[in-house]
Amino acid sequence: TQRRRKTIAVLYTTGNGHGTTGKDKLLCRRQARQSKRQAATTHQMMIKSAD
């Protein structure tokens, strides 16, 4: 679960436009479609858990 958490953190940093290092850009470009879908799901989950 720790690795998954780290992945989500990376997705959020790249999605927000912060921390755009070369590695993050490459990761974002490579997983653009998948990460967008994952980030949306994660965002919804976070909203639900926040309630």
pLDDT at 37: 72
**Which residue range(s) make up the domain with 26?**
2-50
pLDDT at 1: 53
Please state whether the predicted TM-score (pTM) of the whole model is above 0.85: no
pLDDT tens digits, residue range 1-45? Answer: 555 566 655 555 544 454 455 555 666 566 666 666 777 777 777
pLDDT at 12: 55
Crossing angle (nearest 10°) for helices 22-30 and 32-50 = 100
pLDDT at 39: 72
Q: What is the 3-state secondary structure (H, E, C) of 1-51?
A: CHHHHHHHHHHHHHHHCCCCCHHHHHHHHHCHHHHHHHHHHHHHHHHHHHC
pLDDT at 38: 72
- Other CB atoms closer than 10 Å to residue 21's CB: what's the count? 10
Counted domains in the chain: 1
